[in-house]
Structure formats: C-alpha cells, structure tokens
Structure 1
C-alpha cells in the first residue's frame, strides 16, 4: 500500500472596498492499496484526508478525517495430480499410491477438509485410454512428511489439512488396495477433493466456510474465487481432481505333460508305462502376451504314491518349442514329502518356462 498527497489551493478574488478572502488549500492523503492479490484478509487499510487553509494569510490548524476498510477473505485453491501417467498396479497389490498437491491461493491461512472417493464404472479416466472399470479399496489419505515420497508408517493419515498459510502447498497421497481378479488394462479412478475451512486454531479443523451473502460488511467477508475442478463447480469453496490406478497383470496358464522315457522290457524303443518304467513329467508355465512380468514363480508338483521320484532329476527354466517340452533346463529344485518343487526365473509376457522331473512306476 502507498500513500500519495495532493495539494489544491485557490485564493478568492478581491472585491471593491472588501478585504481579501483567505487562501484555502486542500491536502488529500489518499492511500492506494497494493494490487497484489495476496493482501492478507483482515488487514485494515486506512485512507486519510487533511484540509489545510489560511485566513488573512494566517495558516490555520488543518482539519483531518479518515476512513478505514478491512480486506475480506478471498478463498481460492487448486488440487493437482503430480503423477504424469496412471499408477501401474497388480492384482492383490497392497497400499498402491497416487500423488496429489494442494495449493492455497487464498489471502488467508485456511484448513482444508479432505475426501477420497471412487468414480463409478464407465467414468472417464484421468489419463486414458479406457474408463473406470473397478473399485480399489481406499486405505486413506496421507500427508507427505516433506520428502515428496510416500513413506508407509511415517507419513501421517489425515482427514484435513491444518493451518495452510496463504501461497503454501501440501503434498498428499491417496493409498488403496487392489482386489484380486483384475486383468491388464482395468482402471480404478479416484478423486481427491479439498473443501475450504476456517483456519486460526491449530490441530483442530475449522468450520467449513460459506460465502458471505449480500452487501459488504464491516468485518471480514468471505468470497469464493476457486475454479471448477472434478465433481465441483467454480466459486463453491471446493476443488477436486482425479487420478488412475491401471492394472498390469500377468495372465498365467499351467500345463502338465508326460513322456515315457524307458521301460524294463522295451528300454527306450517304444516304451510303455509298465512297472519299472521311467516317466518324465513337464510342468510348463506360460505368461500371455501384453501382460506384466511374473516374478517369484514357485512350482510344486505332487509325485503320485504309485510312483517313485528319480533322484536329482529336476530341471528348471527349460523351454517349450512347438508345444513340445524341451529337456534343456538346469539342475536344481528339491524333492520333499512326495513333492518335486523349484523356483523359475522371472517370466516375461509371451514366454514359457518349465520344471521337468522323472518318476518310476512302482
């Protein structure tokens, strides 16, 4: 705010045989407000006026007056998603995180009530292509501890933001669990909405603000100046934005085939499954094209009670060519309590890996 002064003087003309009138000077002190939008609510702006004058060339005591106005509360905020693409998740993933930022563009310290909701199936997604097709289970909204990254067990769960100063911002995380049975391309769209509330009392959510109706009052009025977000209108004291969880799933199929290797009568020439025959079993795990890589694959194959496992026969990470299991895996795995098992390498989309073992017919 700046103050400018203006002096205007005028001397009345002499009339015949009349003394000179006095000189009248008007000194106006006008305060001009700083035009920055951030002048704090509740600020008193005083405009002063001074009238200086003289009588018969004698300067008189100036007459003064002033008027004071109070700056009202202009409520404005935005909520933005800081993720630049859909958050990729897997079925059964726990505590998946979408990230948002709230900016207080008001001229006052405010609290903000927070809510995280699911959009209905078929709703337009945040990033596209595709639309909302399932609901994640929202765990809660969490306030960043200052490092910009969600820290499970450290970042506090919140239902409102407390005492957000004018021009300040906060980073928020919506955390959700992903249900089972979802396939690649499924989308869950969530909305984070902030509602302006009165500040001034630390550690207590203030009352949700309402816009002052009618003419300007002598106190601090409230004016909503927020834009339209997702699920809300302009000038309503709310702002919402959406974000997506997008599923990338591994679509696994498992098949088990067998080949007779030898028998006691025919040896390896057209062997038959008779007592003493050696049978090779192949467990093939395939991941469909277009899905996510499957990791931590553990295969367990029950050896029937009328067969005896052939020691050290397990081979891991072999391949299948034209539907035929190849004997090209590496030794490994374990046999325990009638079960042949082993761990396969990460299985990329469109590929197949095998576990092979042998057993003898009793």
Structure 2
C-alpha cells in the first residue's frame, strides 16, 4: 500500500508524461488555412494502464506579406542614345506572401540622376516584342498568387541634351494591397494592417476572422523594412556619337588666269568648299549623317561639278577621292535666293572621318 500511495502521488503531481506532437511551422502555408494538432497523455495507476487523455488545438495561419522587385534583362544599365524615346528596362516582381495580393506599382526618377527621364510608363509586354505599345500600361498587378512572378517593363524618354557616359535610373516600387475585390484593394502597410495580434487560439476555433496580417518584407532601395513594399533600381547609360565638323574653302580659279593657290576671291571666281565630319574616340557609331549647307546669296552653286561624299582628308583638307553622289541634292535657286547643298555620308564609327565637297561661283 505504501508503494501504491507513492505512485499515486507521483501521478497526481506530474499528470502528463508522453507528448505525441512535433513542431509545426506556418511558413509557406496559405493564410487562412487551419493547423490542428493533438496532445495525448498516457498514464498508469497502480501499475495498470489507464484510458489516455488528449486535447486538441487549432490555429488559423496568419497572412505574411513579403515581396521583392529585382532588375532583370541586361546586366547593369541599358545603353541609350540622346533623344531616344521609349527606352525599356525590365524588372521581375515576385509575391513571396502566403496569400494572393494586389501589387500597386510606381516608377520615378532616382535621386542623383545626371538628367531627367520623361514620359515614364510601366507596362506588361502583352505581345512579347519587348517594346511599349499603347494599351499595355499598368498601374497595379491584380490578384498575384503566392510565389507568383510577373515581368514588368518600364519605358522612358531620354532628353536630347544627354551626353556620353551620363546615367539616369528609375526606381520601381511595388506595394502590397488586399486582393479579392475588383480593382486595387486596401493597402497593407504599417499603419493600415489590423488583427487581434495573438496566436488565434483564444477560442480554439482558428476562425478566419482572427487572421492577422504581418509585414515581413525586407528593405528595398528606397523603402523600409516591414512596410509592405519593395523597391529596386535600374536605369540607362548614354552612349553617344561625338561628332565635330569643320568647313574650309579655297579658290580654284579666279577667272582671270589665277588658279589655286594663287587665285583671288573676286566675282566670277570658283570656290571649293570642304566639309570634314569626324567621330570621337570611343564614341557610338553615328548613323544617318546628313550634311546641309545653305549658301549665301553671294554664291551660285556649281551644279556641273557635283557633290562628292565619303572622301578622306589629306594635309588637313578634303582629298580628291570622294564619290560623286547622285543621291545628293542641289537646290539651285534664282539669283538673289540662297542655294542649298544636301548630302548623306556613310555611318561614322568611332575615330572615323568623312568628307563632303562641292564648288560654287562668287556672284
């Protein structure tokens, strides 16, 4: 009896011996799902097994808001030209939350840009051509499922004043909002999330009404930690041509027996004009290089000579090796009205030089 009394005392003071549970984690589990686990207690009285007892607890998984924005596409900044329109950069927006969310999108010029980008538009590339088309623009992503990734593109215009090597960046920010309703739902941020703040076990039901929202996002480029948003930066670097042009002239024949280099600039003399266009070292290739020269009324174009293009330079002047270009154009106006010469040179790579030369008569 004494031994039995001691055993009973041990049972009444300890009361539980074995737990048939293992850790349960809510990470990755969908918000609103219920997690139920049961504890079981086996015991003996007087050395004899007794009926086990158990208890069950149910919780509802809370909503964990997490997201990222990351630049994709080209590594580093995208090369652009001055005056380029609709230059495109690319981001991936990922919903790391354990619930479906709406994601509001904003794109702005980053602080410290060398120039200001204009006409910034966010779009989803519906036809897959990598370019912005009217009707593709978005201001938010609707009903993005957990682990959903959406490729978002941003297009912007580069000013003509941008110069070689200058950079400008765009910050794209995604902000989590509640899903389920038409359009963009209520914002999730530190000042707007609600809930009872406990483990959802007070009534043992894990009812959906007890779901809390927890902001678990990291800090992005311009936003803070745990604010329901994430931001990333991508941008552009200007690769420009570095063209210079010089114009020279020499008197070929003055009409009274004088020829170059002794001819004089008198009425009736023939003047040859040499235009030299050069591109700088390390510059981008210049295309569509068009030369237009409006002559003063004191000169009359010599349309019998021609317009010679894509020649070289010798001793600082146009060499006589250009091509007489049938596609170049003389505008031979009436006396007293300026004549005009137009010609298009070949593309000019870095360090390349090309020429255009023609002749006119002094009135």
1:50 Cα offset (Å): 6.8
**Total equivalences in the alignment:** 330
Structure 1 residue runs of 5 or longer lacking an equivalent are 1-12, 16-24, 122-131
> Judging changes above 3 Å, is the alpha-carbon distance between structure 1 residues 81 and 328 closer, same or farther for their aligned structure 2 residues?
same
Which one of 121, 142, 156 corresponds to residue 140 of structure 1?
A: 121
Could you tell me how far apart the structure 2 residues matched to 1:146 and 1:74 are?
A: 33
> Judging changes above 3 Å, is the alpha-carbon distance between structure 1 residues 36 and 291 closer, same or farther for their aligned structure 2 residues?
farther
1:190 Cα offset (Å): 1.4
Residue in 2 that maps onto 1:313: 306
> Judging changes above 3 Å, is the alpha-carbon distance between structure 1 residues 102 and 268 closer, same or farther for their aligned structure 2 residues?
same
> Judging changes above 3 Å, is the alpha-carbon distance between structure 1 residues 209 and 264 closer, same or farther for their aligned structure 2 residues?
same
> Judging changes above 3 Å, is the alpha-carbon distance between structure 1 residues 325 and 171 closer, same or farther for their aligned structure 2 residues?
same
Could you tell me how far apart the structure 2 residues matched to 1:263 and 1:312 are?
A: 16
Could you tell me how far apart the structure 2 residues matched to 1:204 and 1:30 are?
A: 43
1:89 Cα offset (Å): 1.2
1:340 Cα offset (Å): 1.4
Q: Is the 8 A contact 1:262 1:268 kept in 2?
A: yes
Residue in 2 that maps onto 1:342: 343
1:290 Cα offset (Å): 3.2
Residue in 2 that maps onto 1:281: 273
Residue in 2 that maps onto 1:10: none
> More deviation in 339-348 or 46-55?
46-55
Q: Does 1:205 align with 2:184?
A: yes
Could you tell me how far apart the structure 2 residues matched to 1:349 and 1:54 are?
A: 93
Could you tell me how far apart the structure 1 residues matched to 2:258 and 2:317 are?
A: 22
**Going by fraction, where is strand more abundant, 1 or 2?**
1
Q: Is the 8 A contact 1:282 1:354 kept in 2?
A: yes
What TM-score do the two structures reach when normalised by structure 1?
A: 0.80
SS where residue 256 of structure 2 aligns? coil
> Judging changes above 3 Å, is the alpha-carbon distance between structure 1 residues 310 and 263 closer, same or farther for their aligned structure 2 residues?
farther
Residue in 2 that maps onto 1:43: 33
> Judging changes above 3 Å, is the alpha-carbon distance between structure 1 residues 296 and 263 closer, same or farther for their aligned structure 2 residues?
same
Could you tell me how far apart the structure 1 residues matched to 2:127 and 2:199 are?
A: 40
Residue in 1 that maps onto 2:234: 243
Could you tell me how far apart the structure 2 residues matched to 1:14 and 1:246 are?
A: 87
Which one of 189, 203, 217 corresponds to residue 169 of structure 2?
A: 189
Could you tell me how far apart the structure 2 residues matched to 1:304 and 1:222 are?
A: 76
Q: Does 1:73 align with 2:63?
A: yes
Aligned-pair Cα RMSD in Å? 3.2
Structure 2 residue runs of 5 or longer lacking an equivalent are 6-15, 201-209, 333-338
1:66 Cα offset (Å): 3.1
Residue in 2 that maps onto 1:324: 317
Could you tell me how far apart the structure 1 residues matched to 2:4 and 2:160 are?
A: 101
**Going by fraction, where is helix more abundant, 1 or 2?**
2
1:308 Cα offset (Å): 3.7
Residue in 2 that maps onto 1:21: none
What TM-score do the two structures reach when normalised by structure 2?
A: 0.80
Q: Is the 8 A contact 1:279 1:361 kept in 2?
A: yes
Could you tell me how far apart the structure 1 residues matched to 2:222 and 2:92 are?
A: 17
